[in-house]
Structure 1
């Protein structure tokens, strides 16, 4: 259930991170799950996690904070969600929100945010029902997220190592360049 949410942390290409960083990323995932689970209740319909999804060992490159701030504004304006947590861990920056819109509507809006700009591809806007079920793109009939370098699904390229890690990192840096002062 919740452990599926941060699968990108567990599937980060091994060539780009040390064993120590991989361990830190997995520990960060576990702590995020605990924080998330504390928000699941009947008080709000939806819980949203907004996070940077940056490939490679540097989880907060230049422009990352500005991109997350832009993402926060998008989430707040489009969903009327309220930010209840802002944090940073080994996996990067993230924010947790609660919202009274139905989860399906929030997921539709999340996909629009993630696809709004080239840099927004580096955001994950994950949606959860108030009982902890994560809504993925497939739940609403959306295509899987594309790779940063090609048209294939990102998860396929991550698992098979289709691209050089440095090329993926350079693509992310280029996308972030619009958010660097």
Structure 2
């Protein structure tokens, strides 16, 4: 678990570095995958799908890309030549409307290194992939076992992800 936290810290330092060196909007995309193994075949397949969807959404505006790999799984950092509000709204739309959107974790950062929140744009918190209640509440209350959540995610990835092998 310590290595996962260290990876998250390194990723955030990289985000801050990109913010300092660019005039574009910084986006970080990864997969929300529970447990300590973030590098399963399902999480990697889901990341390939996420990466393709991000490219489709922003392909004309991507200035720079960096892919990170580590104990926290794969992530992509992009500098996008669009206003941060537009990038966030389009990211929220992808998270809400894609069949795997609930496991997509797309963060957009302001010039101070703070992530923009869904609430800023009038959207509710993320919903639990198991029961549709607040994901935050379910995590805090430990409403579902990690195995149950992983099984639902893996099944969704298998169902949607044919042909997305790494």
TM-score range normalised by the length of the shorter chain: 0.7 to 0.9
After TM superposition, list the pairs within 5 Å mapping 1:128-147 onto structure 2.
Answer: 128-147=109-128
Residue deviations 1:68-119 (CA, integer Å, cap 9, x gap): 2332232233232244210111110000000121111111110111123332
Q: 1:30 to 1:42 in 2, by over 3 A?
A: closer
In the other structure, the counterpart of 2:24 is: 45
Q: Select between 70-79 and 46-55 the one with higher mean Cα deviation.
A: 70-79
Q: CA deviation at 1:124?
A: 0.5
- Is residue 179 of structure 1 aligned with residue 161 of structure 2? yes
Q: 1:166 to 1:70 in 2, by over 3 A?
A: closer
Residue deviations 1:120-147 (CA, integer Å, cap 9, x gap): 3211110012331210111111111100
In the other structure, the counterpart of 2:15 is: 36
The counterpart of 1:112, out of the listed 93, 107, 113, is 93
After TM superposition, list the pairs within 5 Å mapping 1:8-87 onto structure 2.
Answer: 22-41=1-20, 43-79=22-58, 80-87=61-68
Query: What is the TM-score of this pair, normalised by structure 2?
Result: 0.87
| Matched position secondary structure for 1:124 | strand
After superposition, the CA RMSD in angstroms is 1.8
- Identify unmatched segments of 5+ residues in structure 2: none
Name segments (4+ residues, structure 1) moved above 4 Å: none
Q: How many residues align?
A: 160
